[in-house]
Amino acid sequence: MKMKIHQQIHDWSYHFLLDAGVSHELAPYLNVLILAASALLSMWLLAIISRTVANFVFGQIAGKTRTQLDNYLLNNKVITYLSRLVPFLFIVNVLPVIFTRFPEYQGPVKHLTDIYLVLWMVWIFKAILNSIRDYLKTKDAYRDKPLDSFVQVLVILAWLVAAVVLFSILTGKSVTTFLTAMGAASAIILLIFKDTILGFVASIQVSANDMVRIGDWITMEKYGADGDVVEINLATVKVQNFDKTITTIPTYYLISDSFKNWRGMQQAGGRRIKRSVKIKVSSIRYLTEEDIEKFSRISLISEYLKTKGAELRAYNQMINGDTRLPINGRHFTNIGVYRKYIDAYIKANEHLHKGMTMMARQLEPSITGIPIELYVFTNDVRWENYEHIMADLFDHLLAAVSYFDLEVFEMPNSGDVRHLAGSVRPSDLGGGAVSGE
């Protein structure tokens, strides 16, 4: 019945051309052109109508639902791709009418429609995946996951399957034949797609080991990356640096090179301060009773000086040494009291994390003095606030050094050298003026 309808349509247009005076030799070809043009025009009109109706109807439905998934399906043109099924079915049914007198062309044209069908299915699959990805990004549980990598992997697999099917369509060979040929050329394929394969493996490892999430602050000095991860896909990781530039790092390098992820610091709620005040060695001395009385006016260490002083006096009496020499027995030093002051100060500071390590320790002396290192954590991990807290902390500690009769070591500058040279008289160098001949 279907063939009779096709034949009737073709015969009607063919005889119409003959009645219009077209020759028998030209009529079949002209008939094909007219039918093809009419079919293409009809297909174009059907595509516009079906797309408009489908988007309108689905848009009305999406506006009344609570979920946002249907909105993403609309935005990623899933409905538009689905609406193309109408003109596709139309052209498939019309082709036998067009090529009724040229059956030898129906095979190649059928191959073209099959190719379009395969591509159409891949486009729909990709659009659906993009819609699901965009929807999951709105959920807190998936917002920091490398969804782009997973989507790209699935799309690549879809294109590989499509390539196999297209090969079978174009060559008429079975899928098994194609896969056998691919196995023979696997070395070349691995070489061509090396970066893609490495990126695919790296994406899986990064996700499975939870090494990096979107929004993490990472530092990778080798590639100039110091900022927040804004995108993770199959081939690259995009990092927006704090100067608002974008650094692109191959995903594979996240597992082949070292990098620093600051997520642990942000989750712990404390950011480390590890900085030293370097004390000039020549300013270190034992304290006298007058010094102790003066330092006792400093409220943070007054109780310490009282308690520790009693302990030192009891020890010195026990050993019965000559305490007129401070080296005999145990005595306060100005650097030791300063270190205890720092301990008391950081414990009283409201901007430091009390649940993490808090200490002031003395490091090994060097040519730049004796470092008194502060090892604490701020209770605010935001960069700007962290810098302010650290600056305020060391502003106070550096200013407090002089109250303990200590000096901070610093290299002499040109002004110091000129001042020293100006204070030296010729007589200090071992003689008077030297006369020349």
Residues 118-155 pLDDT 10s: 888 988 998 888 888 888 888 877 776 767 777 877 88
Identity of residue 203: S
Q: How far apart are the first and last CA of the chain?
A: 135
Which alpha helices (H) appear in 137-209, and where do they start and end? 147-171, 175-184, 186-192, 194-208
pLDDT band at 15 (very low <50, low <70, confident <90, very high): low
What is the helix (H) or strand (E) element at residue 64, kind and residue range?
Answer: helix 27-64
Q: Determine the pLDDT at residue 205.
A: 76
For strands 236-241 and 359-362, give the pairing. Answer: unpaired
**Longest CA–CA separation in the chain, Å:** 140
Token reading at 314: 């009891």
Distance (Å, rounded) from C-alpha 63 to C-alpha 32? Answer: 46
- 106: number of CA atoms within 13 Å, CB side? 13
Cα dihedral 412, 416, 422, 425, rounded to 10, equals: -40
Bridge partners, residue 275, by sequence: 374
At residue 2, does pLDDT exceed 50?
A: no
Indicate the average pLDDT of the chain: 80
Q: Among 266, 277, 278, which residue's Cα sits nearest to residue 353? A: 266
Distance (Å, rounded) from C-alpha 239 to C-alpha 137? Answer: 18
Residues 287-324 pLDDT 10s: 988 999 999 999 999 999 999 999 988 888 888 777 77
Q: Determine the pLDDT at residue 30.
A: 65
At residue 435, does pLDDT exceed 50?
A: no
**In this predicted structure, which of 6-20, 21-35, 385-399, 407-421 has the lowest mean pLDDT?**
6-20
Long-range contacts of 306-310 (CB under 8 A, 24+ apart): 308/332
89 contact partners, CB below 8 Å, separation of at least 6 = none
**DSSP letter string, 202-233:** HHHHHHHTT---TT-EEEEGGGTEEEEEEEE-
- 294: number of CA atoms within 13 Å, CB side? 9
Top-confidence residue, 429 or 362 = 362
pLDDT band at 279 (very low <50, low <70, confident <90, very high): very high
- Taking the domains of the chain in order of start, what are their residue ranges? 1-142, 144-261, 271-413
Residues 75-124 pLDDT 10s: 888 888 888 888 888 877 777 666 666 666 667 777 788 888 888 898 89
Token reading at 386: 């962290």
- What architecture is domain 144-261? Roll (2.30)
Q: Among 242, 232, 254, 251, which residue's Cα sits nearest to residue 142? A: 232
Identity of residue 330: R
